Amino acid sequence: MKLFRIQGGVHPDDRKALAAGEAIRDIPLPPFLHVPLQQHIGAAARPVVKKGQKVRKGQLIADADGPISAPVHAPTSGTVVGKKKHPAHHPSGLPVLSILIEPDGEDRWIDLEPCADPFALPPAEVAKRVAGAGIVGMGGATFPSAVKLNLRDRFELDTLVINAAECEPYLTCDDRLMREQAAAVLDGVRIMAHALGVKKIIIGIENNKPDAQRAMLQAAAEFEEVFVVGLPTRYPMGSEKHLVQVLTGKETPARSLTAELGVVVHNVATAFAVHEALRHGKPLVSRVVTLSGEAMARPGNYRVTLGTPVSFLLEQAGGFKMNPARLISGGPMMGQPLPEPRAPVIKGSNGILALSAAEAADHPEQPCIRCASCVSACPCGLLPLEMAAHTRAGDLEGAAKAGLKDCIACGSCAYVCPAHIPLVQYFNYAKGELTTREKTKLRQMETKRLAEARAARMEKQKAAKKAAMAARKKAQAEKKKREAEAKAAEPDNAQAEAEA
Ligand code: SF4
Ligand code: SF4
């Protein structure tokens, strides 16, 4: 299959060898599970269980709240201890509302409703079951998957692209999933294609995963609509728009959806979750997580129950062999510092990295030498040095004009910057600040609109009152006039009676 060129990108040492050779192992249940209500993009789920309630594995504990939301299920059987705020995977480190479950050790499922033939279901029903299983994009984006499956209602779709690039260094969870569960992954992929109503499927896997490529090629051999394609190892190959461009030659305009070009992208781990949900009726309650980095005692790939504290996971995996210089949730390019090891594994957790001082390579920031390396590395054709200069000067509007809103925070610019300027941190800060300002502006506009509407309403009421009073006065005057006229006519009547 012909591949197309994309601009920019970098070639970091992939460091996959640390964990890629390790088969997926199960992590036992912790004493308590902290299950956040917000594990996805969109509105947080709404709790539907009470303190002290017994739950079974897979039971709904919090329901989706609106069209862009996802339900949350009990990851094991046990007792609901309560709801409380708990540290979560978020750069702010702020706690999020979570349901605390004490496992009973039996790991007893609800009565599952498997489906023998998902291809016999109407596409909308497949999307409904995917939504009901709480499946979200598991490559880290965590967008509710059913919303993407329902894009067939709004766009003319022809291709499903499966993002199996796994371009972030160190991460190998998708690689292992494909090597060990190729048939199940492919089944999930084909079920999603059925839901989308597309005839063509392309699975893109970077060339540094030859075993995964072989496994998927073998699984897909009998399906002529499925193309397993080797991708050049180049970061950020897994960025949705760039992946579509490499595989189809179609360039997605800024702030547009790939669906507008007829293409929908889903992650490989999401496909596995769809297989589990449709074939076995199992909601999303666990996932594979890569533990890696030179400070990790036993790098590897672990199947972890959602809600398991990272500290417990690390302990079960042998802990650290040296003090980590940096702990990261996700990959080193786009991941976030792990603010709190008590934070639990959630649907979007693809890796935990414990980097040694040599790997973390923290250098002091130097002034920009205007070498333009960041410009060449940017896959989105932006001017990172200009965006950073505007941000530093507090000119966020200027940063936005220079392309800030099109930045995918891939970190390629920061990776090549010889001055070690933390460009992505600048951009993340600026984006957050702009969003806050826009929200404040929207709130102010809304307050102004409401105040004006109220004033107009009062004015209208006042005018109506005035009109009513005038009408009343007029009616009274007319009444008085009629009475006076009647009175004036009275003597004539009396005279008429006398004459009679
Ligand atoms: S790579 Fe760094 S030093 Fe070079 S122009 Fe960009 S910001 Fe400046
Ligand atoms: S982080 Fe943004 S500016 Fe930097 S390379 Fe990626 S897309 Fe370009």
Closest CA to 283 of 305, 266, 301, 265: 305
Q: φ, ψ for residue 440 (rounded to 5)?
A: -60, -45
- Give, using CA atoms, the residue closest to atom 7 of ligand 1: 385
d(CA 379, CA 376): 8
Taking the centre of ligand 2 as the mean of its atom positions, its distance from the CA of residue 336, in whole angstroms, is 16
Q: Are 215 and 184 in contact (CB under 8 A)?
A: no
- For residue 40, the model assigns a pLDDT of 85
Per residue in 356-391, pLDDT (tens digit) is 999 998 889 999 999 999 999 999 999 999 999 999
Could you say which residues of the chain have pLDDT below 50? 500
- For residue 497, the model assigns a pLDDT of 57
3-state secondary structure of 492: helix
Same structural domain, 275 and 133: yes
Same structural domain, 333 and 398: no
475 domain-assigned = no
Closest CA to 277 of 346, 179, 192: 192
Per residue in 383-436, pLDDT (tens digit) is 999 999 999 999 999 999 989 999 999 999 999 999 999 999 999 899 988 888
Same structural domain, 377 and 333: no
Per residue in 78-96, pLDDT (tens digit) is 999 999 999 887 655 678 9
Same structural domain, 318 and 389: no
Best mutation site among 421, 424, 425, 426 for ligand 1, i.e. most ligand atoms within 8 A of its Cβ? Answer: 421
74 domain-assigned = no
What are the structure tokens assigned to 324, written together? 């980590």
3-state secondary structure of 93: coil
Domain ranges, residue 326? 17-21+119-337
Per residue in 299-332, pLDDT (tens digit) is 999 999 999 999 999 999 999 999 999 999 999 9
Q: What percentage of the chain exceeds 70 in pLDDT?
A: 97
Overall domain count for the chain: 2
Q: Whole-angstrom distance between the N-terminal and C-terminal Cα of the chain?
A: 120
Ligand sitting nearest the alpha carbon of 382 = 2
Taking the centre of ligand 2 as the mean of its atom positions, its distance from the CA of residue 433, in whole angstroms, is 18
Q: Which atom of ligand 1 is nearest to the CA of 369?
A: 3
**Residue list, ligand 2 pocket, CB within 6 Å:** 377-378, 380, 382, 384, 407-413, 423-424, 427
Whole-model pTM: value is: 0.87
- For residue 438, the model assigns a pLDDT of 84
314 domain-assigned = yes
12 domain-assigned = no
